Structure 1
Amino acid sequence: MGTEGADFRVIAGRYRLEARLGRGGMGVVWRATDQLLGRQVAVKEIAQDSSLSTEEARQQRDRTLREARAVAQLSHPHIIVVHDVVDDDERPYIVMELIDGGSLADRISAHGPVGAHDAARIGVALLSALSAAHTAGVLHRDIKPANVLMESGTDRVVLTDFGIAQVAGATTLTETGAFVGSPEYTAPERMSGARTGPESDLWSLGALLCTALSGESPFRRDSLGGILHAVVFAEFRPPEQAAPLLPVVQGLLERDPERRLDAAQAERMLRAFLDTGHTPPASQSSQPPQHGYTPTQRDLPRQQPPATPPRAGQSTRGMLVAALLVAAMAGAGVSAAALLMNGDGDGDGDGRPTSSAPRTPTSTSSTATNASSTATHTSSPATSTSSTAPNTSTAPAPALTTAPSGYRIAHDPAGFSLAVPEGFTRAPQGERVFYVSAGDTFRIGVKVTDPEPGGPLAVMRRAAAKGPDTNPGYRDGRVTETTQGGRPAALWEFTWNGFSTAEGARHTYDLCWEEDGRMYDVWVSAPVGKVREAREYFDVAVDTFVRT
């Protein structure tokens, strides 16, 4: 984690916020000093939105407290320690141990995949942590590289961010229609709403091991529908780098949770690899019930029509809709919709300077993307490809109007709605509307105009041609023809010098399409060091965009 700013507030009369370490789904994480005990801690400041209703604000607070309680009851060397939960000016804060080091996702991004020995060591640590959590009746439900910290100097592995954890016997956000997670790391049974148990965390760990070994999630695709298909239907092809640990990876990624490798056996197999350099095969005997987690009635499998593999040529968007319908019949429709949404973006403009937005170099007119999943994309912005596979659906998908975890639905008076991260504020600039993070680090832009000659592709190409004039230091620009909701669209991606030399270069994702006689443009821009988070915001913005 790198510092991004300073605050120097003292909250609860005790904790001095000194440097921003990063932003998670629920808010900002600060490096702080506990002035009473004289020690460094991490403080998670929960983002609040004045537009939330009283009930929504209560739910957000309840979620904060649930995370703290879920983790505070756990004592394990590979689980983050929660020291305190405090209120300051009616805002909750979680005080945790400070881990000096970045996440596994940061390590993969900076240095590439890890070797089999390191992956096995990480797997053993996480399996041990999950065993302790499951025995205490706690499901993590968001296992992914970004939620695994690597302590500098010791390489201690620490599981963090229990923000959507489920505690046995407690009312959860699932039951209020806000079931969430990271699609690339979400077990197929959770996708369908059929079941949630310790096995689902183990599937996520299997996907994490593949990512650590190969540098990219095995279920990464260019659209949310593609991710759904990869997780639920498609044949799993393990990356070549997973060969040394293949029995464990395949056992954890077994689609049938009853046949999935359990934590104890997976840990034994990984320890055997660390000792001998060879991974023994998994036992063929059926797996016993795992640990001490007692499923509630809501956790038990529901009767539902069996899933049917998609027909040849069936669109990923159509498949997403079909899966949501299955989930609805299973009694979890809204939950599944929330799970499958993710995205982000910022890019500015229409190819013409705008006097009302002096801080915003111009981008193009309509930018919205049907693009990728919540990404573990490891390429640099200069070399990454804008891999947005065309959507072959001939009709727009039903609007998904439930915000993912850490987001809210913004109903904009300009005639549209979309999901934006909690804490982002609306900043209209002429004919463009922006939703921006604190300090303008991330900028989500939307523009609605009349159609222009040649359609979205021509519009984007004209904007790209003017890129050097409208975006200082414009480089690595590319325009890709794609679709949005079955309609022709174009994606423009580029890097430019940014707003200041202090901040450095920024990267922009920009999608444009026409719909019902109007042209829509949705984009996201962010510093080049934060393109993965920006791509997530962009994907969520595009996949939740609805004209109103």
Structure 2
Amino acid sequence: MSEDGARTGPNGRVIGGRYRLIERIGSGGMGTVWRAADELVGREVAVKQPRLPGDPEDAAHQRAANRLYREARAAARVEHPAAVAIHDVVVEDTLPWIVMELVRGESLHELLRRGPLEATEAARIGLAVLGALRAAHAVGIVHRDVKPANVLLGPPPLSNALKRGNPHRRVVLTDFGIAHIQGEESLTASGEFVGSLEFIAPERMSGRGAGPASDLWSLGVLLYAAVEGWSPFRRTTLESTLAAILAADPPEPKQAGPLGPLLLRLLVKDPDRRPGADEVGAVLEAVVEGWPVPVPSGGPAGEESQDASGLREFAEDSGTVRLRSEAAAREADEPAPEPTSEATEGTSGAEVTGPPTASGSQRRSWLLRPVPVAVLGVLLVAGTWFTTSSFLVDNDDGKVMNPVYTAPLAPASTPSPTDLTWTGHREEKLGAVLSVPSRYELLHRQGSPTDQPRLVIYEGDRISVRLTRWDKVSGPVRSQAGLHSSYWKLTDDRAATQYNDTGFQGYDAVLADTAYEDGDVPTRVMELFVKTDDGRLYALRVTMPKGTAREKEGTAVFKGARDRLEIE
């Protein structure tokens, strides 16, 4: 490990006294990757420059630095032709710059922008990725971020090219930056997840940790996206993507051919019921070679044991987002990103082709504001509330294209809560009457008996009132309240919720009061959960900025809406 300081030369900055930076070839939430010249041995390499949030004294900054240190140590222990080779770690200003082999080519994510792959080619790529994962698992390392952006496709190895003109490109799995070394204490704080959301296994989302089966789940999502052209769990909002992972079954693949049964078995929610690496490898090899696919050793995938009925609010509220081809982009008058000629790290934090079309009201409110892309790359570390937020993408400079709302939290004059006048709205599809301040406007309404859940949102000035109904949930109301309130912990690991068991119109109920930070904005959420005798669950939620004049109004709105709520 080099410890030399950096210096600036006429041809660019030199790192560690030997690696001269030439050009940037990738950028994302966790860092920038440079093509560099190793002046000591005369070869080109890739150098990953860290990009960390906050002040160096901050706990979040230090956790991110620890992850980068661990990336180099973890990746260096993995020896496999499909695993990127780490050459050196250079410490600059207490942060590690990671020097690795330069893989010329493009990422699988970039390739899939031009359309899906044939099953045989997807299986070949999957077999190489599986080999790298098995090598990692053999030394106690779980990758935890297997996704198309972290799979690089380089030129074919010379030995392969000389064999009967084999044209197959080399496959390389990169970015062990969030790898977990089994047996070591986790460096992430409680409630903090890292990874790319739609590829994260459900057991990690529910707090059960990651194991080799989690990487196989991610491989299954990757292969599904490769053959179908779209991810089975990606939705247009963060919260709906999370819920789809936890609660939704993936649609049966239409273009996977012999890979189809394997994909569905890899995406079973229970990690103990997924096929093991040996079985996955046997099926992938059979598809590549054109052999009969082996019969599964386990039974068919059944219902998962996890009760995520309360998450149907988010699982079905938005359609899946498909990977777009260049032709489709041209039809929409939106140019598709040009594939890079050189790549070495899948550093993009969000793999989306553009923000979704807003439904409901055409105006963008603070409730519907974009989510910073860094949140996607490190997955909810900085904290942004899971609501109907639009995705946000990086431009080529790694900058956020649409800034987060930064206007003052409250206007100069704020109406007194005692001046509120109320209007009752009969929500037929919810079977309830919801009363809100008369000046509050309808923002969004959705749901039916076949489209769960049913919900309605009204909004004032930075205060929102939301009523949601699920037709059937299992478990006590307190467990449902805890399930929903756990989202705040995903958003902000310092979020605190207070619960109070109560009753409402003769039904069991729970009050929940949560304080958390939405980015840099202190936020308070007050909720009432009511479960009826026939299994319906109602949730009344009022969201407000904390520590401002609006908080006083928000608390009055919650109490008024609660006292006036009528459930049929």
Instruction: Provide TM-score, normalisation by structure 1.
Output: 0.59
Q: How does 1:141-540 map to 2 (within 5 A)?
A: 141-154=144-157, 155-284=169-298, 306-310=306-310, 315-316=313-314, 376=323, 378=325, 379-380=328-329, 382=333, 387-388=356-357, 390=359, 405-406=377-378, 441-447=399-405, 448=407, 488=443, 516-517=460-461
Aligned partner of 1:55 in structure 2 is: 59
Deviations 1:278-300 (A, max 9, x none): 4233112799xxxxxxxxxxxxx
State the shift of 1:309 in Å.
2.3
SS in 2 for 1:37: coil
Could you tell me whether the CA contact under 8 Å between 2:235 and 2:321 is conserved in 1? no
SS in 1 for 2:273: coil
Distance, in Å, in 1 between the alignment partners of 2:241 and 2:300 is 29
Residues 45 and 7 of structure 1: CA distance in aligned 2, closer, same or farther (over 3 Å): farther
Could you tell me whether the CA contact under 8 Å between 1:141 and 1:164 is conserved in 2? yes
Aligned partner of 2:432 in structure 1 is: none
State the shift of 1:63 in Å.
1.1
Deviations 1:369-397 (A, max 9, x none): x98999855552636786457589xxx89
SS in 2 for 1:80: coil
Aligned partner of 1:17 in structure 2 is: 21
Instruction: Provide TM-score, normalisation by structure 2.
Output: 0.57
Residues 450 and 174 of structure 1: CA distance in aligned 2, closer, same or farther (over 3 Å): closer
Could you tell me whether the CA contact under 8 Å between 2:148 and 2:222 is conserved in 1? yes
Between the aligned residues of both structures, percent identity stands at 40
**Aligned-CA RMSD value:** 4.3
State the shift of 1:519 in Å.
10
Moved more, 195-204 or 52-61: 52-61
Deviations 1:192-225 (A, max 9, x none): 1124211010011001001111111111212223
Distance, in Å, in 1 between the alignment partners of 2:87 and 2:122 is 29
Residues 186 and 391 of structure 1: CA distance in aligned 2, closer, same or farther (over 3 Å): farther
Could you tell me whether the CA contact under 8 Å between 1:28 and 1:44 is conserved in 2? yes
Structure 2 residue corresponding to 1:108, chosen from 102, 108, 112 = 112
Code of the residue aligned with 2:307 in structure 1: it is A
Deviations 1:63-115 (A, max 9, x none): 11101000011111010111111112443200000000111001111x21111
Residues 245 and 202 of structure 1: CA distance in aligned 2, closer, same or farther (over 3 Å): same
Could you tell me whether the CA contact under 8 Å between 2:81 and 2:172 is conserved in 1? yes
Distance, in Å, in 1 between the alignment partners of 2:181 and 2:45 is 25
Gaps of 5+ in 1: 1-5, 288-304, 321-369, 411-416, 420-434, 452-485, 491-512, 521-539
1:135 and 2:138 aligned: yes
SS in 2 for 1:125: helix
State the shift of 1:35 in Å.
0.5
Which has the larger Rg?
2
Aligned partner of 1:40 in structure 2 is: 44
Distance, in Å, in 2 between the alignment partners of 1:129 and 1:231 is 25
SS in 2 for 1:63: helix
SS in 1 for 2:256: helix
Could you tell me whether the CA contact under 8 Å between 2:217 and 2:267 is conserved in 1? yes
Could you tell me whether the CA contact under 8 Å between 1:7 and 1:19 is conserved in 2? no
Residues 269 and 437 of structure 1: CA distance in aligned 2, closer, same or farther (over 3 Å): closer
Distance, in Å, in 2 between the alignment partners of 1:201 and 1:39 is 33
Gaps of 5+ in 2: 1-9, 158-168, 335-352, 362-366, 386-392, 411-440, 446-456, 465-490, 492-516, 522-544, 547-568
SS in 1 for 2:230: coil
Distance, in Å, in 2 between the alignment partners of 1:489 and 1:262 is 44
Code of the residue aligned with 2:443 in structure 1: it is P
Distance, in Å, in 2 between the alignment partners of 1:436 and 1:149 is 20
Distance, in Å, in 1 between the alignment partners of 2:181 and 2:293 is 33
Distance, in Å, in 2 between the alignment partners of 1:88 and 1:374 is 40
Residues 438 and 309 of structure 1: CA distance in aligned 2, closer, same or farther (over 3 Å): closer
SS in 1 for 2:73: helix
Aligned partner of 1:330 in structure 2 is: none
Distance, in Å, in 2 between the alignment partners of 1:74 and 1:440 is 29
Distance, in Å, in 2 between the alignment partners of 1:142 and 1:160 is 9
SS in 2 for 1:219: strand
State the shift of 1:277 in Å.
4.9
Structure 2 residue corresponding to 1:80, chosen from 84, 88, 96 = 84
Could you tell me whether the CA contact under 8 Å between 1:254 and 1:261 is conserved in 2? no
Residues 151 and 12 of structure 1: CA distance in aligned 2, closer, same or farther (over 3 Å): same
State the shift of 1:170 in Å.
1.9
Residues 64 and 181 of structure 1: CA distance in aligned 2, closer, same or farther (over 3 Å): same
Residues 147 and 436 of structure 1: CA distance in aligned 2, closer, same or farther (over 3 Å): closer
Residues 159 and 133 of structure 1: CA distance in aligned 2, closer, same or farther (over 3 Å): same
Distance, in Å, in 1 between the alignment partners of 2:86 and 2:111 is 24
Moved more, 59-68 or 236-245: 236-245
Deviations 1:513-532 (A, max 9, x none): 99542599xxxxxxxxxxxx
Aligned partner of 1:120 in structure 2 is: 123
SS in 2 for 1:94: strand
Residues 390 and 189 of structure 1: CA distance in aligned 2, closer, same or farther (over 3 Å): farther
Code of the residue aligned with 1:95 in structure 2: it is V
